[in-house]
Amino acid sequence: MLSYIIHINLTMQDKFIIFSLFLVLFCPFQVISLYQPFNEDMLGLIVFKSGLEDPKNKLSSWNEDDYSPCNWEGVKCDPSTNRVSSLVLDGFSLSGHIGKSLMKLQFLQILSLSRNNFTGKINHDLLVTLWNLKVVDLSENSLSGAIPDELFRQCWSLRVLSFAKNNLSGKIPESLSSCYSLASLNFSSNQLNGELHSGMWFLKELQSLDLSNNFLKGEIPEGVQNLYDLRELRLGRNFFTGRIPENIGNCLLLKMIDFGDNLLTDEIPESIQRLTSCTLLNLQVNFLNGSIPHWIGELNNLEILDLSSNRFSGSIPSGIGGLRSLQVLNLSTNNIFGSIPVSIKELKSLYVLDLSDNKLNGSIPLEIEGAISLLELKLQRNLLGGRIPVQIAKCSALKSLNLAHNNLIGSIPTSIANLTNLQYADLSWNKLSGTLPKKLTNLTHLSSFNVSYNHLQGELPIGGFFNTITPSFVHGNPLLCGSVVNHSCDRSYHPKPIVLNPNSNYSNSRTSLQNHHHKIMLSISVFIAIGAAVSIVVGVVAVTILNIHVRASVSHSGYPFGLSGGEDNSFSPEKDPKCGKFVMLNGDIVEFPNEVNNLLKEGNEIGRGGFGVVYCVVLRDQNFIAIKKLIGSSLTKSQEDFEREVQKLGNIKHQNLVALEGYYWNSSFQLIIYEYFSRGSLHKLLHDDDQRKIVFSWRARFKVILGIAKGLAYLHQMNIIHYNLKSTNVFIDTRDEPKIGDFGLVNLLPILDHCVLSSKIQSALGYTAPEFACRTVNITEKCDVYGFGILVLEIVSGKRPVEYMEDDVVVLCDMVRSSLEDEKVEQCIDEKLVGYFSPEEAIPMIKLGLVCASQVPSSRPDMADVVNILETIQCSSEGQQEEIQ
């Protein structure tokens, strides 16, 4: 009868009730105490399973008819109590909610559900009910919402807690400080915001803390020195400001420190000198300054040292050679000068050396051969001179070599052909001469070899990589020949070999040779004398012609330093007492190449807009600058007013603003010198066909939007209105950091009326605030907010503000608003981001763009508020960081 009852189609809970009644009636003493624990644990697990999707059938062993769950996949029991003590389902591809049914596992100590697709919020009763829990790992899921403050009311047993790589938002609960047994805490890669409370440092047993890749802000509170057992501290990729905690060096057991990608300032605390166990020190992408500490070489256990993209100055300490365990050294993008220390030879374990983008001089040390493990050597964009050392061939493991944009001379050493693992080499923009070694064709792994803009000559190697080399890799070497450069090699001249008469005896040969040698000496002397005379005559004639030419050129040109071309050729500097010169705001002297005859010519043009035309110019030191030639002189202020306004603009410094570096003024035209960005404008990266393969990830786009907001907020704080914000006026550097250009230029013009501002300056279709069309409305910084809103929609959607279709005109702002109202969010997102974003994360960003682009100026937020809003917007943690290939 019992068998018949159990096999009726009942729920699992009903079966347990019936079975329990049977046991109570017939076997009250022998069975009840043995089965009741399994009743609770099995019931909880079976109900938990019933709410899940299990595509890989990982939970097939969870059979409700089993007597015990202790042999189920992922389940372990304590043998002394026969209760479930561990539930580990990592990487099972499960999806669904983490329901309350797990609360029945009263003796559970380990709960690990990482690398699945669980959704929903974290149950605030999880730790309160399961007070025996020691390990909770819910990382790499899709959990959302805030971390409940009530979660940590009874967490005294908790040792390991990880919610990493989810979509959690809100602040870190202050109640977390009551988990005084906690040894490892990982909330990384979420969207947590707010400030870090000092109660975090009450966790005296904490050994590992990872809060990286969130939106945390404010200063790092003092008190970290109280964590004597701390081994790992990761706060990178947030928005922390202020200084690195001064007493961090009291955590003597610290091995890994990551404060990278924040907004930290000031110098490296000297207390770090005491952290001799440290293996990783990552301070990249901050605003740290001062010199690299001389004691850095005493941290002899360091394996990774990354101080890149800061404001460090001074030289590289010679003690760097004491880091015998160092594997990665990155000091790039700073203001470091001086020479590369020869102690580099001691770094036998180093496999990445990046010193690029500094003011390093001297030569590449011969001792580089000591770094025998090098895989990557990056020295580009410095002032290094001398020759490429032949000893570099001793770095036989080298795969990537970048020496571009330096002052290297001499020939390319043949020994480079011995770097059999070399895949990438860039020697462009140097002063290298001679021929390319033929043996380079032996580099079978080579995929890129750039020698453009040098003084190389002769025939290109034939074979291997060089049969299909990209022509741009050899541009700027006019004496190179071969099919790739469309310049055939002249093979008509072949010197005749010297043949001695084999029939003559030794004496006759010796006399003959002596006479021959005497005749040769006489011939050489005659030739030298004749050559000297000819040279003198030619020199005199050349100088005379050159003087005539220069006088003629000067009388017809108003361009300094040999500049010519463009407009206003009627201006003569000899006739104008106000003819100026190039003025660099930092005091440097600009030297233009002598061979540049038409600097401001069409071929050098890289953009134009309401304020003028922009040209790319290569200086004599091989650096690039951007020169903007302003619009007609009839709109320009006097020289005194012009120079005063430029000086003001030059003093405006911000990481998201293009730096104004100098100017030139005369009565016919005015030039402004800016820093140059080879990657181009935001418009180019979003819309040009040549750039379609370059796709911003969601994370990168968020960074660009936030950077533009910060730059605009800073301008408004300085009482500067941009007036002409658009994607062609935003430039992107190599770190996806946006730089706003053309700000403040309206101040260089005389007072303009409303119509001139609208027609001359605000020329970009779709970005123009509606108040420009109304003469009775004052133009304020809210017009910039409108342009920012349009930019947000453009960056998110990948579409232009106005697009012309066959039979229609699509206005981006209207299209996005309509799609959002119809709950068709996917139509508002760039199609190249499909599968790499979450609609829940994109909607707040889109709504912010629409609010900023409101038709009524008073409805638009201030840019300072926009920055605060952006810092709390959710964005993806993992999918957004992947670049679409």
- Report the 10 Å Cβ neighbour count for 25: 8
Q: Tell me the DSSP string of 97-115.
A: E--GGGGG-TT--EEE--S
Extract the tokens encoding 65: 């008819």
Contact criterion met (CB below 8 Å) for 273 and 297: no
Q: Are strands 328-330 and 304-306 parallel, antiparallel or unpaired?
A: parallel
Vertex 316, ends 313 and 321: CA angle to 5°? 160
3-state secondary structure of 434: strand
Helix (H) or strand (E) holding 192: strand 191-195
Q: How far apart are CA 345 and CA 342, in angstroms?
A: 6
- Is residue 629 part of an annotated ligand binding site? yes
Contact criterion met (CB below 8 Å) for 615 and 604: yes
Q: How far apart are CA 269 and CA 246, in angstroms?
A: 5
Residues 6+ apart with CB under 8 A from 350: 326, 327, 328, 329, 344, 371, 373, 374
Vertex 772, ends 769 and 775: CA angle to 5°? 150
Q: How far apart are CA 812 and CA 790, in angstroms?
A: 8
Q: Which of 140, 136, 192, 130 has its CA nearest to residue 162? A: 136
Q: Which of 581, 634, 607 has its CA nearest to residue 749? A: 634
Contact criterion met (CB below 8 Å) for 264 and 244: yes
598 exposure class (CB count in 10 Å sphere: 0-12, 13-18, 19+): middle
In whole angstroms, what separates CA 741 from the centre of its chain? 20
Instruction: Name the one residue in this structure whose structure tokens are 């929903």.
Output: 120
Phi-psi region of 472 (alpha: psi -120 to 50; beta: other; left: phi over 0): alpha
- Report the 10 Å Cβ neighbour count for 814: 9
CA distances from 522 to 495, 516, 517, 526 (A): 22, 10, 9, 6
What are the residues facing 233 on neighbouring strands? 209, 257
Extract the tokens encoding 630: 């302003």
3-state secondary structure of 621: coil
CA distances from 102 to 139, 481, 723 (A): 17, 75, 59
Extract the tokens encoding 499: 């043949």
Size of the chain in residues: 885
Extract the tokens encoding 388: 């490429």
Extract the tokens encoding 360: 């390093």
Q: How far apart are the first and last CA of the chain?
A: 65
Phi, psi of 810 (to 5 degrees): -100, 120
Residues 6+ apart with CB under 8 A from 369: 345, 389, 391, 392, 393, 394, 395
Q: Which residues are annotated as a binding site for ATP?
A: 629
| Binding-site positions | 629
